[in-house]
Structure 1
Amino acid sequence: MEQVRQTFKAESFFSNLLLYVNRAVEDFTLPLHSHEFIELAYVAEGKGFHYIEDDVQRIHRGQLHVIPIGTSHVFRPSSTNALQDPLIVYNCIFTKQLVDNLIPLVFDGPIAVYLEGLKEETLPYHAVFDTDDEIGKLFLSLYKEYSLPRSGSTTYLNTLLLQLIVTIYRLHTETSRTAPGSPARFLQILSYLEQNYAEKITLSHLTERFQWSERHLQRLFKQHTGQSFNYFLQSLRIQKSCEQLRSTQQKISRIAEAVGYKDLNSFMVLFRRMVGETPGAYRRQFRE
C-alpha cells in the first residue's frame, strides 16, 4: 500500500521571521511529508534511516541533508527506544523570500547560483558530511539564537544561515571534485572514525562506505598517518578511554565498552601495551 504523503504549509511555521529552527528527537509518528519551504537537516546524534522519495538511506551523526521544496521524506531512528538510542536532528527551514533577501549579500557567483537553485527548485536533494564539526557548531548557534532571541537576532540568524550555506556549498563541491586518495577525501574517513570509533568498524566496512579498495585504504593510512588502519583505530580508542579516565568516575569496564571493547581483558592488555601502565594506575595520577 502506498504511504500517505502530507505537505507541510509555510504558514504553519513562519510569521514575520522567514526562518525556523528546531531540535527533534525523531520517532515513528511523523508521516512521510514534503513542504513548501527549503529544509536543512543535520544529524546531531545517533543513527537511523532517511526515507527520501522512493529511496531509503542509512544515516549517522555528522550528515547534513539539503531537502528541496516538494521532496517527500522522513527520518526514522534505528531503535524504538528513544532514551537509549535517540536519533536527534536539528532542522533549519526557510522560505524562498528569505533566499531573495540573502542573494544580494552574496558576492561569490557560484554560491549565488547555488542559492538560486534552492529557490527555483532546480537543485536536487543532496547530503554532505560534516568533516570537522563546522556545521554542527553553526547549527548549535542557530538553535540557541532562535530559541533565545536578543536584540539583532534576525540579522544574526541571517548571517549564520549564510555561513551555513557557504559551508555546505564548499563541502558539496569539494566532495564532488576532489580525486580519490587526496588528503581532503581521506579527512572524511578520519572524521568518520572520530565519530564512530566505538562501533564495530573494519576495513571492509570502510571500503563499502567510501568505495575504495582495502589495499588502497591501507596505503592511505600508512601515507597520511604512518600507521596501519588497525593500529590507528586502536590508538584512537585508547586515547578516548584516557579522556574518560581523566574526566569521569565511570567504572573501567564501562569505559572499555564505551570505546568499543566488549572484552575487558583485551582492553586492559592493549591499554597497558600502549600507555605503559594499567587504566587504574593512569587514572590515579589525576586524582592525587
Structure 2
Amino acid sequence: MNGRIDHLCGDLFFDENMDIFINRELESFTTAQHTHDFTEISFVGEGSGYHYIEDQVIPIKQGDLFLIPIGTSHVFRPSSPKQDKTLVIYNCIFRNELLDQWKSILQKDSFTYNIFYYPHECSERWLHFQDKHDTFSAMFQTMYSEYLKRNTGFDTVLVALLIQMLVMLKRFELKNEEEPASFSKLEEVVHFIKCNYTQNITVQDVADYFYLSASHFQRLFKKTTGLTFTQYLQNVRIQKCCELLKSTDIPIYQIANQVGYLDMKFFHALFRKKTGVTPRQYRQNFQEFEDKAISL
C-alpha cells in the first residue's frame, strides 16, 4: 500500500488499508469546490442540482454519472439551500495504482482510456454520461451495501464491480461512437435552436434537453452538420439579423438584442466576419438594390 490518501469523504476518511472507498453523500449547498488526489466516479442517486466542475456549472439529475480524474476541481450542490431540495451522490473513489494493473481492460487510444491514464493531455477534463437504463444505479447500490456490511470477501466484490463499471463506461463510449452519422435527433435540435436562438442558450443547455452529454452532443453535431454548435447558432442569428435589416427599419442595436447579442462590439465584428460588410452597409446595399429594381 502506497501511503494513506488523507481526504475526508463525507464524514469518513479513505481507509488506509483499502484501495476502494464507497460513500453515499447528502450534498450540502455550502460545500467548497475542491480537488482530489485520487480518481472518482460519481453517480446522482436522488434529487437534482448542479455540478460545479472546473469553470463550468452543469445541471444534474438522477442518473447523471461523472468520471473525475485526479486534479479536477469540482463540487456537487443541491439546487437550493432549502432542506426540501435534496441531492444524493454515490461516490466510488480509488487509488490510481489499481489502474496500472488494469490497462488491458480499456482499449488504448479511446477517450475513456486517455481520461484515466493521461487526463492532462485530454481536451475534455472529465466524462459525463446519463444512465438512462439504470446500468450503473444497481452497481453503485450493491457496492455501497458491500462496503457498509463488509462481509467475507467484500473487498474482492468491490474490485470486481469496479472493473465491471470501467468496462461499462467503455461500452457507453462505443455506443455513442456507433450512433449513425445522420444523428437521428438533428431535426429536433435544429428546431430547438431556431425556437430559442434569442436566449442565452449554450451547448450544455441543448445537450441536457436531449439527454446527451455535452461532449457527445458536440461530436455528433459537428459530424452531422460540419459546424460546431456555436458556429451554427451564430449562423442562425446572423441570418435572422439579415432578414430584419432587409424587412424593417428597426435600429441595428435593437436587432442585435432581439437575436441574442448585447455586446455590440462583438456583434459588429461577427456580422462583418459572416457577411463581409457591416450591418449598416448590408441594409444600405439592400435598399439600393430595391431602389434599382423599382426604377426598372
Band the TM-score falls in, shorter-chain normalisation: 0.5 to 0.7
- Correspondence 1:102 to 2:97: no
What displacement does 1:10 show? 2.2
What displacement does 1:178 show? 1.0
- Correspondence 1:143 to 2:141: no
Q: Which residue number in structure 1 is paired with residue 57 of structure 2?
A: 56
What displacement does 1:99 show? 1.4
CA distance in 2 between partners of 1:65 and 1:98 (Å): 19
What TM-score does the superposition give when structure 2 sets the normalisation length?
0.55
Q: Structure 1's 164 and 28: CA in aligned 2 closer, same or farther, altered over 3 A?
A: same
What displacement does 1:90 show? 0.3
Is 1:129–1:171's contact at 8 Å kept on the other side of the alignment? Answer: no
SS class of match (1:74): strand
Identity of aligned residues (%): 33
What displacement does 1:127 show? 0.4
Is 2:112–2:173's contact at 8 Å kept on the other side of the alignment? Answer: no
Q: Which runs of 5+ in 2 are unaligned?
A: 8-13, 186-204, 213-296
Q: Which residue number in structure 1 is paired with residue 19 of structure 2?
A: 18
- Correspondence 1:209 to 2:209: yes
Q: Which residue number in structure 2 is paired with residue 77 of structure 1?
A: 78
What displacement does 1:210 show? 1.8
SS class of match (1:98): helix
Q: Structure 1's 99 and 56: CA in aligned 2 closer, same or farther, altered over 3 A?
A: same
**Paired letter, 2:50:** F
Is 1:103–1:112's contact at 8 Å kept on the other side of the alignment? Answer: no
State how 1:1-288 maps to structure 2 within 5 Å.
10-12=5-7, 13-82=14-83, 84-103=84-103, 106=105, 109-110=107-108, 114-115=112-113, 117-121=115-119, 122=121, 124-179=125-180, 209-210=209-210
> 1:181-211: per-residue Cα shift (whole Å, max 9, x none)?
779x8xxxxxxxxxxxxxxxxxxx9897129
CA distance in 2 between partners of 1:111 and 1:43 (Å): 28
Task: Give RMSD over aligned pairs.
Answer: 3.0
Q: Which residue number in structure 2 is paired with residue 274 of structure 1?
A: none
Q: Which residue number in structure 1 is paired with residue 224 of structure 2?
A: none
Q: Which residue number in structure 1 is paired with residue 288 of structure 2?
A: none
**Paired letter, 1:209:** Y
Which structure has the greater CA radius of gyration?
Answer: 2
CA distance in 1 between partners of 2:40 and 2:208 (Å): 28
Q: Which runs of 5+ in 1 are unaligned?
A: 1-8, 186-204, 213-288
Q: Structure 1's 211 and 43: CA in aligned 2 closer, same or farther, altered over 3 A?
A: closer
**Paired letter, 1:118:** F
SS class of match (2:159): helix
> 1:26-75: per-residue Cα shift (whole Å, max 9, x none)?
11232100110011000011111111111111111101011111010111
Q: 4+ residue stretches of structure 1 with deviation over 6 A? A: 180-183, 205-208
> 1:119-164: per-residue Cα shift (whole Å, max 9, x none)?
3434530101112111000000110011111111111100000111
CA distance in 1 between partners of 2:182 and 2:23 (Å): 37
What displacement does 1:165 show? 1.1
